[in-house]
């Protein structure tokens, strides 16, 4: 058995174990186990990148581990951590130049998690009346809603039966009238950013989130 085959088997075994933990309601253990798997996947991705080896399989495992961990964190009501993890994973893909190696549906899941986690966090924070903080919230929500819309369309084009589409559609429909969704490009300062290359937007989201105490 090759190392790659063994690695895929081990990863598949671990993700199956996490799925069982989530299904049986052992959320605390699911958070720990998925966090360990994400850390391992991140280390593998970094190592292969430093060694200039192919990254396609490693980034797929990294994103799958991130989705599982964010899901577990949300079930644990650790919404700030869920937001930070989702944004960090998405930015890692961009920094490593691997955006085309990740299926749109996987990014759709992470953007959905990031947006709902941001909204949950803002609800917990309440309104402190500071206009600058409200600006940060507005930009974060607009950027994430716009990116969610972009990856919703990309996922629908690639696989109209994808299971992540209905939830994203319902969410986008609910916020459509707010004017938060920008398309086909997203305004960042004086620049128009292509949502297919969202790195600058994710960096801006991180900065605004840190100012709000949201990004860990």
- pTM for the structure as a whole: 0.93
Q: What is the pLDDT along the chain (216 residues), one digit of tens a residue?
A: 445 544 555 899 999 999 999 999 999 999 999 999 999 999 999 999 999 999 999 999 999 999 999 999 999 999 999 999 999 999 999 999 999 999 999 999 999 999 999 999 999 988 766 788 899 999 999 999 999 999 999 999 999 999 999 999 999 999 988 899 999 999 999 999 999 999 999 999 999 999 998 876
pLDDT by residue (tens digit) across 24-47? 999 999 999 999 999 999 999 999
Q: What is the pLDDT of residue 208?
A: 96
3-state secondary structure of 193: strand
Cβ(50)–Cβ(41) under 8 Å? no
* 193 beta partners: 186
Helix (H), strand (E) counts: the chain:
8, 2
Round to whole Å and give the CA distance between 19 and 3. 24
What pLDDT does 197 receive? Answer: 96
Sketch the domain layout of the chain as residue ranges. 1-76, 103-216
pLDDT value at position 216?
A: 62
The pLDDT value recorded for residue 1 is 40
Residue with tokens 């090759």: 2
pLDDT in tens, 124-139: 988 766 788 899 999 9
Nearest to 42 by CA among 93, 108, 110: 93
- What whole-number distance in Å separates Cα of residue 72 and Cα of residue 74? 5
Give the integer Cα–Cα distance in Å for 73 and 136: 23
């Amino acid at each position: 058995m090759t190392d790659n085959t063994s690695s895929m088997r081990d990863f598949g075994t671990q993700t199956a174990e996490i799925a069982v933990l989530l299904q049986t309601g052992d959320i605390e253990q699911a958070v720990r186990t998925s966090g360990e798997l994400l850390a391992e996947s991140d280390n593998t991705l970094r190592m292969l990148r430093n060694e200039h080896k192919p990254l396609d399989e490693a980034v797929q495992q990294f994103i799958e581990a991130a989705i599982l961990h964010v899901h577990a964190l949300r079930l644990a009501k650790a919404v700030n951590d869920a937001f930070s993890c989702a944004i960090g994973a998405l930015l890692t893909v961009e920094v490593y130049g691997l955006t085309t190696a990740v299926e749109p549906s996987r990014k759709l899941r992470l953007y959905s998690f990031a947006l709902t986690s941001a909204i949950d966090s803002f609800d917990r924070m309440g309104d402190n009346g500071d206009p600058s903080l409200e600006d940060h919230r507005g930009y974060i929500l607009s950027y994430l809603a716009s990116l969610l819309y972009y990856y919703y369309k990309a996922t629908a084009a690639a696989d109209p039966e994808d299971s992540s589409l209905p939830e994203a559609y319902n969410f986008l429909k609910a916020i459509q009238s707010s004017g938060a969704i920008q398309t086909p490009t997203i305004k960042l300062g004086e620049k128009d950013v292509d949502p297919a290359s969202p790195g600058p937007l994710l960096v801006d989201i991180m900065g605004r989130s840190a100012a709000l105490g949201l990004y860990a």
